[in-house]
Amino acid sequence: MITKIVTITDKTNVNDEELREAAEILRSGGLVAFPTETVYGLGANALDETAAKKIYEAKGRPSDNPLIAHISCMEELPALVKEIPEAGRKLAEKYWPGPLTMIFPKKAVVPYGTTGGLDTVAVRMPSDPVANRLIRLAGVPVAAPSANTSGRPSPTKAEHVIEDMNGKIEMIIDGGEVGIGVESTIVDVSGKVPTLLRPGAITMEMLEETLGKVEVDPAILGPVSGNVRPKAPGMKYRHYAPQAEMTLVEGDMQAVVEYINREAKAAKAAGRKVGIICTEESRSCYPEGILEVIGSREHEETVAHNLFAVLREFDERQVDCIFSESFSRDRLGQAIMNRLCKAAGYHIVEV
Ligand code: AMP
Ligand code: MG
């Protein structure tokens, strides 16, 4: 298949003509990758089981890992969900459109092929002007997981999508770099107490401010063993992983730098190519290895924004091992550490 690439001329003033063909592809059961404010999504008609199946094929994604249905405005929600619980209403009012996904009881019209066999459906309303307009023009809810090969770091630029999806899907819309860089926060509002299933840019602190009590799914905090079925099924798979083995180093900054330098030196002596994930503040502390600056500790949004691109960069440079600094788990740090822990396969060293 030849993948058509459409470049958006002006994101701040989207021209519908640039999106019409993409909308038509989505309506007729094809696949289109497009930018959102979180990461690039791989879209298909969420109500069309055959179209959803193509997403799983293109990504190599296990079919019990459910998809998120994207809508463009509140009026499109009732068609998909049986009820909108109070918590869902409050969060929608405050954070939609935006990087927040909520789990609702699904209506029959949403096929099990989209929800991975579950009776609930995950819904998000993206704020990115290209994503939002495309969904509106398509006139159908759009299932859109990240537009990467399953297991690889999520795409935050069109080039990443081209790497993974060229020749496998009908169209890629190039809208430049995404803003946030990590996937949406997921909250289950279908039960008694709202539960955080995946941390993102809408932080735990923000959710609690709006809802009061919020529970945290244990899958966020650590690896899920093979015999439990987590609430957010995607949680059980290895994610965001670079090709090299990665070690996340936690502790006092001085000790972290010393540990990484010692390990980098030993690895280099053993003939291995070493990658180091550092920050603006620590970039001058590492004499050995290939450095990637993930962002500034002063501005955590920069760390989220660059995280996946840095992991892909190490794939490109074919390093054998990666050592990464850690971050606090407050606010956006919870999402950053969740992605880094998964990328490292929970290989964490405390110093
Ligand atoms: P993404 O990987 O961004 O496409 O997000 C999909 C993730 O959303 C899945 O891996 C699940 O963790 C979560 N998810 C989607 N639908 C549901 C659902 N109905 N119930 C619980 N989690 C869901
Ligand atoms: Mg993904």
Tell me the percentage of the chain whose pLDDT exceeds 90.
92
Alpha-carbon span 51 to 32, nearest angstrom = 11
146 in ligand 1 pocket by Cβ < 6 Å?
A: yes
Distance of CA 169 to CAs 62, 141, 224, Å?
Answer: 18, 18, 32
**Structure-block tokens of residue 282:** 């620590």
pLDDT at 81 over 70: yes
Sign of CA dihedral 24, 166, 59, 133: negative
Which pLDDT score, from 0 to 100, does residue 37 have? 98
- Beta strand 32-34 with 100-105 is unpaired
Give the 3-state DSSP-derived string for the chain, with helices as H, strands as E and coil as C.
CCCEEEECCCHHHCCHHHCHHHHHHHHCCCCEEECCCCCCEEEEECCCHHHHHHHHHHHCCCCCCCCEEECCCHHHCCCCECCCCHHHHHHHHHHCCCCEEEEEEECCCCCHHHHCCCCEEEEECCCCHHHHHHHHHHCCCEECCECCCCCCCCCCCHHHHHHHHCCCCCEEEECCCCCCCCCCEEEECCCCCCEEEECCCCCHHHHHHHHCCCEECHHHCCCCCCCCCCCCHHHHCCCCCCCCEEEEEECCHHHHHHHHHHHHHHHHHCCCCEEEEECCCCHHHCCCCEEEECCECCEHHHHHHHHHHHHHHHHHCCCCEEEEECCCCCCHHHHHHHHHHHHCCCCEEEC
Least confident range from 210-219, 223-232, 263-272: namely 223-232
pLDDT at 281 over 90: yes
235 in ligand 1 pocket by Cβ < 6 Å?
A: yes
Ligand 2 centroid, distance to 284 Cα (angstroms) = 33
**Structure-block tokens of residue 267:** 């690895």
Ligand 1, atom nearest to 38 Cα: 3
**Structure-block tokens of residue 189:** 């509002």
Residue range 175-179: mean pLDDT, rounded: 97
pLDDT at 251 over 60: yes
Ligand 1, atom nearest to 122 Cα: 16
pLDDT at 228 over 80: no
Which pLDDT score, from 0 to 100, does residue 236 have? 53
**Structure-block tokens of residue 325:** 């600094």
pLDDT at 265 over 60: yes
Which pLDDT score, from 0 to 100, does residue 326 have? 98
pLDDT at 225 over 80: no
Contacts of 337 (CB under 8 A, 6+ apart): 326, 327, 328, 329
234 in ligand 1 pocket by Cβ < 6 Å?
A: yes
CB 241 within 8 A of CB 343: yes
**CA nearest 146: which of 25, 18, 234?**
234
Ligand 2 centroid, distance to 182 Cα (angstroms) = 9
Alpha-carbon span 226 to 144, nearest angstrom = 26
Which pLDDT score, from 0 to 100, does residue 230 have? 53
Ligand 1 centroid, distance to 120 Cα (angstroms) = 10
CB 87 within 8 A of CB 189: yes
CB 267 within 8 A of CB 288: no
Strand 290-293: give its sheet, edge to edge.
290-293, 274-278, 321-325, 245-250, 348-350
122 in ligand 1 pocket by Cβ < 6 Å?
A: yes
Residue range 15-27: mean pLDDT, rounded: 98
Ligand 2 centroid, distance to 239 Cα (angstroms) = 8
pLDDT at 32 over 80: yes
* Tens-digit pLDDT profile for residues 110-160: 999 999 999 999 999 999 999 999 999 999 999 999 999 999 999 999 999
Cis peptide before 62 (omega within 30 of 0): no
**CA nearest 308: which of 292, 332, 296, 290?**
292
